[in-house]
């Protein structure tokens, strides 16, 4: 058995590689690393497995590299990604890794005709965009609403669409939830990205080890039985269950507890964005676990594991919080990803996108007090209270009207379902004939602006894709689209006012602009 793996030098990639190396039988694992300096590091780290490990160095945006990677493979696992803040700092690199690289992998696999490997593509929770207490749960049929200025999510969305519409015989898309790993605190204290965690946003955490185990179990189960009806040619959410559902504030709090403090000791409400993030609790995350039995890690236990792995954090317990703020956090506020930087340098487009307006930003208190509502304490922005523990239970999840019954089996989806979904989106289905259940046949649709596009019913109804300007340009026009699109509107207006009329976009140099 031969497996190709991209992103092997990343956190999830390394855990996946470790798991793959325990497979039996196993002939070869071919990995692709982007940077030449990573090659000797990987050879050293996996020196006991060089008889089965082949390392390619190159760029996914190079089609010839992708052809070399996938040749003679049984499986191709694409874990490569340039995530924020890297994607924010270098959007062109994001496009190469997260979009163009996927297109090249697809082409390289399609060219193999009858010898195609099975393709596993990892995308992201970021595709669902911003969520709050109104609709904290998500499932794969949800509309994809990448948050303004998040080039990572747009690139991942475009790549995912290409996979769903490809001619690869056996593919699967897995949308990874928020992922924690042992070095996460260190990796997220280098720039202003840490201020992009909304305090009240829902986050469901899986561990890198958990995700790596899933990848291995996919191979084991696929070798053991036929997964054609239950797994291949589908989209899944990689979740981790109720115990790992918390908020952004709780996440920061768990991290700073390792240093003897709390989130409120180091942060104020004005430090972090209020909307335009990406996080959701996965209602259907259990579907993957039913197939592959990989869940088990608990977020609170994992933070203790981080503390044991990084004993230096204990030094924070003897330092005053003010000192840590001054020398650790305050310098990060000067980074161009930080809200404080936007306010100081009059970057109004981002203050609007992430807070609603400069006025809304400046109304926020500098410190946490009774006037700032924290969802994890059961407080809502309108002054009401909610049972937070109850909110996290799947049986209390609230969903939108998709235009069709998402609980229908694939073979039961009919022409009227397709027509209703298109109409809910403010568009239409341009086909008059459809054989019930034929959800992988490409059809012609018209979007909210009368533009014609082609997509499979599965892509639209199960994958949540519906063509709009974000698929072509780095532009986010949801304020206007929601006036026509009833599906988008049900989520977008959870954090945006109906009278907002902003067109968020980036110019050719990726500067954030607004009309």
| pLDDT tens-digit readout, 444-467 | 999 999 999 999 999 999 999 999
Nearest to 122 by CA among 307, 288, 327: 288
The three-class DSSP label of residue 451 is coil
Half-sphere exposure of 489 (CA within 13 A, CB side): 17
pLDDT, tens digit (0-9, with 9 covering 90-100), for 103-159 = 999 999 999 988 999 999 999 999 999 999 999 999 999 999 999 999 999 999 999
Buried b (16+ CB within 10 A) or exposed e, 315-352: ebeeeebeebbeeebeebbebebbbbbbbeeebebbbb
Residue 319, pLDDT > 80, answer no
Q: What is the CATH number of domain 2-185+202-244+279-297?
A: 3.40.50.720
pLDDT of residue 284: 97
Listed as own residue / partner, the contacts of 494-503 with beta carbons closer than 8 Å and 24 or more positions apart are 494/130, 494/131, 494/132, 494/134, 494/135, 495/130, 495/132, 495/275, 495/276, 496/275, 496/356, 497/356, 500/356, 502/352, 502/353, 503/475, 503/476, 503/477, 503/479
Q: Which of 182, 195, 211 is nearest to 84 (CA)?
A: 195
When pLDDT is averaged across residues 237-254 and rounded to a whole number, the result is: 96
CB atoms within 10 A of CB 250: 20
- Give the pLDDT of residue 466: 98
Specify the residue for token string 């594991």.
Answer: 305
Residue corresponding to tokens 């990205």: 193
Band of residue 259 on the pLDDT scale cut at 50, 70, 90: confident
- To which H or E segment does residue 203 belong? strand 202-207
The strands making up 443-446's β-sheet, listed across from edge to edge, are 428-429, 443-446, 452-455
Q: Where exactly are the structural domains of the chain?
A: 2-185+202-244+279-297, 410-514
């Amino acid at each position: 058995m031969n497996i190709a793996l991209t992103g092997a030098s990343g956190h999830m990639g390394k855990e996946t590689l470790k798991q793959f190396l325990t497979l039996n039988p196993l002939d070869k694992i071919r990995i692709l690393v982007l940077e030449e300096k990573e090659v000797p590091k990987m050879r050293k780290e996996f020196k006991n497995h060089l008889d089965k490990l082949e390392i390619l160095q190159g760029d996914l945006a190079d089609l010839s590299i992708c052809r070399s990677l996938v040749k003679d493979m049984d499986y191709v696992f694409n874990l490569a990604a340039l995530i924020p803040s890297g994607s924010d700092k270098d959007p062109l690199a994001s496009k190469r890794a997260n979009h163009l690289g996927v297109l090249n992998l697809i082409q390289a696999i399609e060219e193999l005709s009858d010898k195609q490997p099975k393709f596993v593509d990892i995308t992201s929770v970021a595709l669902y965009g911003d969520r709050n207490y109104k609709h904290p749960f998500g499932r794969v049929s949800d509309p994809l609403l990448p948050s303004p200025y998040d080039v990572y999510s747009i690139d991942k969305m475009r790549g995912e669409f290409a996979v769903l519409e490809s001619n690869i015989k056996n593919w699967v898309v897995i949308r990874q939830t928020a992922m924690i790993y042992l070095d996460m605190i260190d990796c997220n204290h280098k720039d202003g990205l840490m201020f992009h965690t909304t305090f009240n946003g829902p986050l469901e955490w899986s561990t890198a080890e958990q995700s790596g185990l899933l990848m291995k179990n996919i191979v084991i189960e696929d070798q053991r039985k036929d997964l054609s009806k239950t797994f291949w040619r589908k989209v899944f959410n990689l979740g981790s269950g109720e115990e790992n559902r918390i908020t952004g504030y709780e996440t920061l709090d768990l991290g700073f507890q390792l240093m003897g403090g709390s989130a409120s000791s180091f942060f104020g409400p004005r430090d972090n964005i209020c909307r335009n993030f990406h996080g959701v609790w996965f209602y259907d995350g259990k579907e993957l676990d039913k197939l592959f039995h990989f869940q088990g890690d608990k977020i609170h236990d994992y933070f203790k594991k981080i503390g044991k792995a990084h004993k230096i954090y204990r030094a924070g317990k003897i330092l005053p919080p003010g000192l840590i703020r001054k020398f650790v956090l305050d310098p990060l506020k000067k980074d161009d990803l930080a809200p404080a930087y936007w306010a100081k340098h009059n970057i109004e487009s981002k203050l609007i996108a992430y807070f609603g307006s400069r006025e809304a930003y400046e109304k926020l208190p500098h410190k946490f007090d009774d006037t700032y509502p924290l969802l994890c304490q059961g407080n809502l922005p309108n002054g009401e209270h909610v049972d937070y523990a109850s909110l996290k239970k799947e049986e209390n999840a609230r969903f939108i009207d998709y235009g069709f019954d998402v609980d229908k089996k694939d073979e039961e989806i009919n022409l009227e379902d397709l027509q209703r979904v298109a109409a809910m989106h403010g568009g239409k289905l341009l086909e008059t004939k459809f054989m019930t259940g034929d959800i992988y046949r490409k059809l012609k649709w018209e979007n909210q602006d009368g533009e014609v596009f082609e997509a499979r019913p599965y892509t639209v109804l199960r994958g949540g894709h519906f063509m709009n300007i974000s698929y072509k340009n780095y532009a986010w026009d949801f304020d206007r689209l929601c006036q026509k699109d009833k599906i988008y509107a049900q989520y977008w207006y959870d954090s945006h006012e109906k009278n907002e009329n902003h067109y968020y976009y980036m110019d050719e140099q990726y500067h954030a602009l607004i009309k």
